[in-house]
């Protein structure tokens, strides 16, 4: 260790702020002999209630009046409970119930509080007291005795001497919680693998695109230029179980644009239908629904962390913390003119995960 004392010139002066409870290293602290001396307590200044009997009476009156006011508040709250019942289908009655019970209780509580504090400040003795501090560490005899007890316990048990017993015990104590860790595997279903589940959605070849939440199939001719639809796969709205789980992966945004505005890569030219494109609505950042569509810029905005996606360019990220473009759902039209999926998404939708790539 390098030394870091300040040499002999800095020594403790009695009554200086640096003077210590127990003599311990002050290290880089500077403690001088020449520091100013604590002048001791300033003279006590009496309050107006100490000097003026009238003021004291006034304070006393204020305190008990406040406590009586509190009783009035409590009674008012009980009365309000009865006088302002909740009338079914009338939100206004809920508001009145909330307001008047609350105001009564507020009055009851505040009056007790202000009264008690006023009592303490104006009427109770305002002479400050002084407690002595003692070092937090135990006194030397106590510490010595503590050490002795531990040594004696060690002696009598042989904890330090019988190392085989000690080490095997430590080993047992380390291992015994492990079964509890294993038990937590049961938090998730045993027969499912999240990685597989994340790679598939309800969409498959021929599934109709339907409106969210009604489940009405959408005809290509109904999608006018510039309009957008919130879409779920056919059959999702009737599901009994797992509806939200499927919806959290399968939600799609359908947009019709002027085909001239769409910049499509060669392999995806067949994924749209006359300017109608379908993209996953689940943000590739952390999974919020990318629900805000700005019609004149053709940008999608995620309201959670402001990632922006460009619908003209396969929903590539143009701003914000997301990295990947929104996955595109390849669509077509069936014989009756309804929009259908050509297949599932070709990549996992939603937030990134370790096993995704």
| Touching another protein, residues 48-77 (CB under 8 A) | none
CB burial string 233-249: b at 16+ within 10 A, e below: bbebbeeeeeeeebbbb
Judged by CB under 8 A, which of 59, 69, 116, 333 binds another protein?
A: 116
Q: Pick the closer one to another protein by CB: 25 or 173.
A: 25
Q: Please, what is the minimum distance in Å from the beta carbon of residue 80 to another protein?
A: 9
Single out the residue of 126, 318, 36 nearest to residue 302, CA to CA: 318
Contact set for another protein, span 146-165 (CB under 8 A): none
* Binding of another protein by 96 (CB under 8 A): no
Q: Which is nearer to another protein, 28 or 156 (CB)?
A: 28
Which of 11, 29, 147, 263 is in the footprint of another protein by CB under 8 A? 29
- Asked if 235 interacts with another protein (CB under 8 A), we say no
Binding residues for another protein restricted to 248-307, rule: CB under 8 A: 248-249, 251, 281-283, 285-289, 291-292, 301, 303-307
Q: Give the whole-angstrom CA distance, residue 234 versus residue 208.
A: 5
The span of 108-116, 214-222, 262-270, 334-342 binding another protein (CB under 8 A) equals: 108-116
CA angle 204, 205, 210 (to 5 degrees): 70
**CB closer to another protein, 100 vs 159:** 100
Looking at residues 192 to 211 of the shown chain, list those that interact with another protein (rule: CB under 8 A): 192, 194-195, 197-198
Total of chain residues touching another protein, rule CB under 8 A? 129
Rounded CA-CA distance 249/196 in Å is: 13
Query: Which residue in the set 159, 228, 320, 333 belongs to the binding site for another protein (CB under 8 A)?
Result: 320
| Three-state DSSP class for residue 279 | strand
CB 318 within 8 A of CB 259: no
Q: Helix 53-83 vs helix 91-118: angle between axes, to the nearest 10 degrees? A: 160
Q: What secondary structure letter does DSSP report for 151?
A: H
Cα–Cα distance for residue pair 205/334, rounded to 1 Å: 11
* 120 counts as binding another protein under rule CB under 8 A: yes
Stretch that binds another protein, among 86-94, 167-175, 255-263, 326-334 (CB under 8 A): 86-94
Comparing CB distances to another protein, the nearer of 28 and 265 is 28
Residues facing 210 on adjacent strands: 217, 232
We find the least distance from the C-beta atom of residue 199 to another protein, in angstroms, to be: 11
Where does residue 231 fall: left (phi above 0), alpha (psi -120 to 50 degrees), or beta otherwise? beta
Which CB, 15 or 258, lies closer to another protein? 15
Pick from 303, 112, 339, 317: nearest CA to 210: 339
Given 8, 53, 132, 181, the residue binding another protein (CB under 8 A): 132
Contact with another protein (CB under 8 A) among 128, 266, 267, 336: 128
Residue 205's closest CA among 345, 343, 35? Answer: 343
């Amino acid at each position: 260790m390098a030394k870091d004392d300040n040499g002999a010139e800095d020594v403790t002066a009695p009554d200086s702020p640096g003077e210590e409870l127990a003599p311990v290293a002050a290290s880089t602290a500077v403690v001088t002999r020449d520091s100013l001396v604590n002048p001791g307590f300033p003279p006590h200044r009496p309050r107006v209630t100490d000097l003026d009997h009238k003021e004291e009476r006034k304070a006393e009156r204020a305190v008990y009046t406040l406590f009586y006011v509190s009783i009035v508040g409590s009674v008012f709250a009980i009365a309000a409970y009865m006088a302002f019942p909740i009338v079914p289908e009338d939100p206004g009655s809920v508001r009145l119930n909330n307001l008047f019970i609350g105001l009564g209780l507020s009055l009851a509580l505040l009056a007790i509080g202000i009264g008690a504090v006023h009592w303490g400040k104006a009427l109770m003795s305002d002479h400050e007291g002084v407690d002595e501090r003692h070092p937090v560490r135990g006194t030397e005899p106590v510490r010595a005795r503590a050490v002795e007890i531990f040594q004696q316990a060690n002696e009598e048990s042989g904890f330090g001497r019988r190392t085989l017993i000690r080490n095997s015990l430590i080993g047992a104590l380390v291992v015994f919680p492990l079964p509890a860790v294993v038990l937590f595997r049961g938090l998730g279903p045993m027969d499912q693998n999240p990685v597989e589940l994340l790679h598939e959605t309800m969409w498959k070849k021929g599934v109709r695109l339907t409106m969210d939440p009604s489940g009405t199939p959408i005809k290509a001719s109904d999608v006018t230029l510039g309009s957008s639809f919130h879409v779920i796969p056919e059959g999702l709205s009737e599901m009994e179980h797992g509806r939200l789980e499927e919806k959290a992966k399968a939600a799609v945004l359908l947009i019709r644009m002027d085909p001239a505005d769409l910049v499509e890569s060669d392999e995806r030219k067949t994924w749209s239908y006359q300017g109608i494109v379908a993209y996953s609505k689940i943000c590739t950042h952390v999974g919020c629904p990318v629900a805000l569509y700005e019609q004149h810029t053709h940008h999608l905005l995620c309201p959670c962390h402001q990632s922006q996606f460009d619908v003209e360019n396969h929903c590539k990220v143009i701003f914000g913390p997301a990295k990947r473009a929104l996955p595109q759902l390849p669509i077509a039209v069936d014989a009756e003119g309804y929009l259908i999926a050509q297949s599932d998404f070709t990549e996992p939708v939603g937030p990134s995960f370790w096993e995704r790539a």
